[in-house]
Amino acid sequence: MAYDDIHTPVLLDRCVELLAPALQRDGAVVVDATEGMGGHSEALLERFPQVRLIGLDRDTDALRIAGERLARFGDRVTLVHTVYDDIADAVRSAGATTVDGILFDLGVSSLQLDEADRGFAYAKDAPLDMRMDQTAATTAADIVATYGEGDLRRIFERYGEEKLAGRYARAIIAARQEAPIDRSARLVEILIAATPVAVQRERSGHPAKRVFQALRIEVNGELAVLERALPEALGILPVGGRIVVMSYQSLEDRLVKRVFAEATRSTAPAGLPIEPPEHAPRFRLLTKGAEVASDEEKSRNPRATPVRLRAAERVREAS
C-alpha cells in the first residue's frame, strides 16, 4: 500500500525538528498519542534509529494500518488501543515510566474523513456515526435521536460555536418526530432548510459544518479527554522532554494554550525580589504563539489549513 497517497502528515518536518533535541540519547522513548496511520511515527523512527515509539489510538482501523506501515521497525514499536487521556497508564504498560517526546495531532484523522461510512463528513451521505472508536456505544445518530432541545442547543453552542444553535435544535426535534435522522444527508437537509437565506449568503462555510463538529466532539468526548490528557502528558516528561500539540479548531487550541500557560508560569508570590527555585516555571514554550502551516503546505495538503501548533519543554522537575 502507498501510504503517502492516502495520508499526508501535517507539519511533519516542524514536528520532527521540535522533538529532535529530546530524542538524541540512546533509549529515548517517544509517544505518538494520536497514532492515526503512522505518518509522523514513521518519520521519527527513521530519523532517530535509537528511539522506541509508543503509539496510541482509539481507532482500531488506524492501529491496523499503522501496524502494517511500521512493521519494519520491529520491537521498536508498541501500539496501544486506548484513548489518549490514558497516556500515563499506557506508557507504564509498555514498560516505561517517563518519555522523552510526546506528539498530539488532534481532531478527526484522514482515515476517518475519507471513509464515508464513518459519517464524519457532511459532504458525503453515510450512517450518522462519528465514533473514532468503533467499539464505543454511542453514535451521533443516538445523540440526535435522544437529546432534548436544550441539550442539543448546548452542544451546538459550546462545541460548534454555532449562532443558530437554538434554531437547529428545534428543527431537529421537529424532524425526528416524522422520521429517524440516521444518515448524514438527512441531517444536512434539515440544517439547510432551517438556515435563513440571508445567513446562507453571509456565511463562508457550509451550514452543517459547526453542527457536525459539535456532534463529533460530543460523541467522542474530545475536549474532556484533551483536558485530562494534557496534564497527564506533561507529568511523564523528564527535564529536557518535549511535547508538541497540533489543534485544528479554536476550542482545542484555547485549551492547549491555557494548559501550557499554566505550566510555564512562575508560582512565586508577587513582589518577591528573588524567585525561589521551587516556584520557577516547570516548562518553557518552544513556539511564539501558535504556528501555522505555510501557504505551500496548505496548497499541497488542504487539511493543514486550520492547524495551530504549540510546543513546550520541561525545564524543572515538579516540587
Q: Is 57 annotated to bind ligand?
A: yes
Measured on CA atoms in the order 224, 227, 230, 231, is the torsion positive or negative? negative
Question: Is 82 buried (19+), middle (13-18) or exposed (0-12) by CB count in 10 A?
Answer: middle
User: Which strands, in side-by-side order, build the sheet including 29-32?
Assistant: 77-81, 52-57, 29-32, 101-105, 242-247, 308-314, 283-285
Residue written as cell 514536528? Answer: 15
Measured on CA atoms in the order 200, 201, 204, 206, is the torsion positive or negative? positive
Q: How far is 62 from 222, CA to CA, in rounded Å?
A: 17
Residue written as cell 494548559? Answer: 259
Q: Is 125 annotated to bind ligand?
A: no
Q: Is 39 annotated to bind ligand?
A: yes
C-alpha cell read off for 267: 508560582
Q: How far is 291 from 13, CA to CA, in rounded Å?
A: 13
* Residues sharing a CB contact under 8 Å with residue 289, sequence separation 6 or more, in sequence order: none
19 within 8 A of 312, measured Cβ to Cβ: no
What DSSP letter does each residue of 111-123 carry, written as one string?
HHHH-GGG---TT
Q: Is 40 annotated to bind ligand?
A: yes
Q: Is 55 annotated to bind ligand?
A: no
Phi first, then psi: what are they for 108, rounded to 5°? Answer: -80, 140
Known binding-site positions: 38-40, 57, 84, 105, 112
Known binding-site positions for S-adenosyl-L-methionine: 38-40, 57, 84, 105, 112
